[in-house]
Structures are given as C-alpha cells and as structure tokens.
Amino acid sequence: MTEPPALPESIAADTSWQSLPPRGAWLAALGAGLATALPFAAAGGVLAFALHYPHWLLAAVAGAAIGLLLGAWMGRRRHQLTFWQLDSQALGVRRGHMWQSESRVPVSRVQHLDLQRGPLQRMAGLATLIVHTAGTRMNTVAISGLDYVDAERLRDQLAQQLDHDDAL
C-alpha cells in the first residue's frame, strides 16, 4: 500500500493552532444572541402569564433582552475559543473551554470542500469552510468565521491533496 503524498511545505511548516480573526466575533455574537433571545422571550412571557403577572408582555421583552445579552456573550466567547490546525496528516478543529471538543479529519477521508459566505460574512471578509468526509458519523466539519484568505488557502491545499489521492 502506498502512502499518500505529503502536503506542500507551506502547510507542514506551520502546524500550530490558529485562532479565528477577532473581527468575526461580532457576527458570532449577533447570531447566538438572536437565536437565544426568542426562547428567553417565550419563557419570560409564559412564566409571567402562568404566574398571573399582569405585564406578561413586559416580561417577554425583558426575557428577550436577557437572552440577547447572554447569547451574544456566549457566541463571542465560543468564537474566541475556536482554533484550527492543518498539518500533513489532518485538519483539526478545537472548540471550548469548560466543555472542550477537538475534531481531526484525516486528509485521506476528505470527500469534497465548500466555502460559504453570507452577506455579513462578505462584508467582514470572512467565510465558512465546510469539509465533507467519508462515512456517516460526523460526516461534515464546518469552521465558521475564518478569514476569507485562510479559508481559500485551506480549501485549495486540501483540494490539492484530494487531487493527489485521485491520481493514485
């Protein structure tokens, strides 16, 4: 059995964990804040209604504000605690502080790659790299909030490895 060719030296030279660019933290905060505000608003309104509080709408607005602030803080923090690494063997993604997760996708398991950029990401110069892998469990790994140049470079370097594997 032959070994897959090594990734180019530009990848192998820098195998340290890279953080996401700080300018993407506001997008992560906005998304998480909005996603958290709605359930908190509903919970505040329902709780106030169940307790016969006459200003249940005010309680719902207060719940939305608390959810927005809490979600924004959590989204910003999650963004700050997300790191990626590409070496000659695999793409790694590390997330979290208290509950940590680390995923490593062997380059040989990569099937195809996608770059996604919404309007706000384009405005901030960011992108989401989606790596589709072989298998059914955890078959995609997405890194949201990457610098667009880094996302393109990662995609191109991983695709170059795919081309080498297809030639074998």
The pTM of the full predicted model, rounded to 2 decimals, is 0.79
Q: How far is CA 12 from each of CA 24, 53, 79, rounded to the nearest angstrom? A: 26, 62, 25
Closest C-alpha to 11, from 155, 146, 164, 167: 155
- Residue 162's pLDDT is 67
Residues 20-43 have pLDDT tens digits of 999 999 999 999 999 999 999 999
Report the C-alpha gap between 143 and 24 in whole angstroms.
12
DSSP string, 45-102: HHHHHHTT-TTHHHHHHHHHHHHHHHHHHHHHHHHHTEEEEE-SSEEEEEE-SSS-EE
Mean pLDDT, 10 residues at a time, over the chain (168 residues)?
44 73 94 96 93 92 97 96 90 90 88 93 95 81 93 90 60
